[in-house]
Structure 1
């Protein structure tokens, strides 16, 4: 009996001269159906919705940022999460290593995460630059309006919400037009209707973003704290914004490798974000990922950025909603707590 409910049941070996199945090495030397075989127990299991996956990634991104800033507020929950699952698996050597790593990190960590620090007026940064939260809203809106289930009325509702957010952020009309065009590009919004509808939405936007008056302040002995990432004032592309974050994170990339590899391999395919969103990564053969497979899967995130986020957005149209990292590791992200659906109507 298989130990995992998604694991393939025992099947008789394929017919041949000896009846013995090919080894893993032999299956790499010729074309076989083994690489594309899906566990029968996985058939009909609902996949995770793109928006749910985007929210999970946003949560994980905040956690990784806190880890890169040596914040005990996030280091302790992450290490506790890993230790708990290692205890359940009775991997006591891993528990000891994680406890030692936690003690080492705690020696130099601070409690405050300092993920995003309020910009000081003396920095005189153009206030049309978007904050991290606002850029995440834009990314989520792009995913939603390009989903097949989002019709014209749904698109207009989401675009109106985005317009209000941009107006509140003080974005000027030129920048707002660029952002809105990039959101609609590739969606099913009627091309002949879009210019008139966009101009109506942005009619009251200022031609130039208003500048906040700089108040005189007494000299400070210490330099003001900088945000963990300040996008260039001419950066309106979500793709460029994400690339800039990863370029500036530095050590955060190493934390991302550790976080995604360890949590996916040791915590039954669930990062903290995926756990909260009730979704799970699993291999197409029904088995859970080991460290090597989890490591190769997280490497797919770099490929997703290299393709201008297209590797991530393909979950909107790809069968089984596989993103580029799922293609790399032959995995699928499933929705937990939902009943299976039949494959036929």
Structure 2
């Protein structure tokens, strides 16, 4: 809420952590085209924590955000709603006028865009309390002059943490476990935690190990099928109880179930190689292509990986859809006959 004009803005985010807070403020700053020089905040844990003496310590991500945008930040006193009356009123106003009926969107980004557009519409149709009869949008145009310019470089609200993977290669982040891969078992992993993603990398080489959508909640295992498949190839009997089994299409899952242990081991290894080269979805499409061609054969990396790469690159009709070359000219030259078979 910008109290001078009574401009009210809101965005949608999945949590109240520092990464979500900074990302949401960035969306608002970009939308209004500037940065307020002073921000008065409630006692949000994503921004900082207050000790027994009343001193506030900023979180690492929010502290970097404040420095990047050159902000002055003030915090309200606990249980003092009068210190933030403007934004408390904005909460009720936007709930009544913006979120009834509930809004629907495909993603948080799309929902935030809808909300900001509706906020602009409400600003054009509502009036400033200080100037009766004057729309909030007109007063806000004057208020823009007091905003600081946006930085030339975008800020990346990311929290870096070093974690040790367990014996399965799983890394615990905010009570959820992300698979870094069996090669990372019991070793250090560098995690880049953003509001929507968790990226795992090797601290020694910087090699990207895995990237996942960030989970909100507790006690979830998040695994990349491409990292699980090599582990299953070593122990193929674990295939039927594996966590990625539901991610495999029904026809391919039934096909793998029908294989003997040796063929299943080779097939799982081939799928793992194809996943590393082209990704999980193209690898599954390639498996479906081979399944349609010959159900009796197993999967081999030398045939599966090239097909998966073609699937990834958009050659969906491989191999049957590729037009064969016209060799009739060679036939006429060698045999000395025309298309009708008559001698020339």
Q: Shorter-chain TM-score: what band?
A: under 0.3
Q: Which has the higher strand share?
A: 2
TM-score by length of 2: 0.19
Q: Which has the higher helix share?
A: 1
TM-score by length of 1: 0.19
Higher relative contact order (CA 8 A, sep 6+): 1
- Structure number with greater Rg is 2
